[in-house]
Structure 1
Amino acid sequence: MSLSRIVLRLARNPGTEFAGGDDHRGYALTAPLTEDGHLDENAFSKVKGECSVRRFAPDEDAVDGRLNRRGARWFFDYDNTDDTDDEPLHRLGEHRFALGEYVTVTDEDGRPLTYKVMEVTPVQ
């Protein structure tokens, strides 16, 4: 089992101010993946402390947090003492992290936005 660095960039989101997408907005996360690119739930429990996320955008400071889960629900957690900052990930356990795949993240304003997987590299 190894960790991977996964970069998600904002894809086209019609009906929002990001209708054309934005390559400068997204997430970089570190997580264990199975050989076929899904989150490795068994490995996650062993390396949970190493599973991080960084949200980046050109008009705000980068925010660091961690990948976490409660039951089957995965989310990005930026303050482990407060649930209101959590960003849920739609059916993340079913997504395949491979170049060109899409992932939906519910942002801090409660709206679901689609991101495209732009990079998946092993962490050395």
Structure 2
Amino acid sequence: MSLYHIRLEMARNKQFPDGNPARGYDIVAPLDAARHLDREAWKKAPGSATVTRFWDGERAALGLLVWHRKGGWAFDYEPGTDEDDESGFRFADHEFAPGEYVSVRDHGADELHTFVVRSVTPA
């Protein structure tokens, strides 16, 4: 299984017209040849797919990238509860390549935040 380090940074929006590199996610996950999240590889070692949420100097949140029982990818910071999960909007369909955009639904809210894939490097 090939793991990659994927860095997402908040894209430009009304609050941050130039984006915000101090808000985002560092993800370690398997990607397939098309740079999509590789669910089959993930199934072999789900604990190796991790996420670190960084947010304007707050304490980093550490979690796992999981295939949610409701379907789709999510960031799970506390196993056993869904209350803190953040879901990736159509993550299974996205190419994780520099310059691409993805969205994440904030836990406890229906708000989607858009992020730019800043870098993808072998882990």
What is the TM-score with the length of structure 1 in the denominator?
A: 0.91
Does the Cα contact within 8 Å between 2:22 and 2:57 map onto a contact in 1? no
**Identity level (%):** 43
How large is the Cα RMSD of the aligned pairs?
A: 1.3
Residues in 2 aligned to 1:21 and 1:108: alpha-carbon distance in whole angstroms: 20
Aligned length in residues? 121
Does the Cα contact within 8 Å between 2:84 and 2:108 map onto a contact in 1? no
Aligned ranges for residues 103-118 of structure 1 at < 5 Å? 103-110=102-109, 111-118=111-118
Secondary structure, aligned partner of 1:45: helix
1:81 is displaced (CA, Å) by: 2.0
Work out whether 1:85 is the aligned partner of 2:84.
yes
Unaligned 5+ runs, structure 1:
none
Unaligned 5+ runs, structure 2:
none
Aligned to 1:5: 5
What is the TM-score with the length of structure 2 in the denominator?
A: 0.92
1:13 is displaced (CA, Å) by: 2.1
Secondary structure, aligned partner of 1:42: helix
Secondary structure, aligned partner of 2:83: helix
Structure 1 consecutive aligned stretches of length 4 or more whose deviation exceeds 3 Å: none
Q: Partner amino acid for 2:98?
A: L
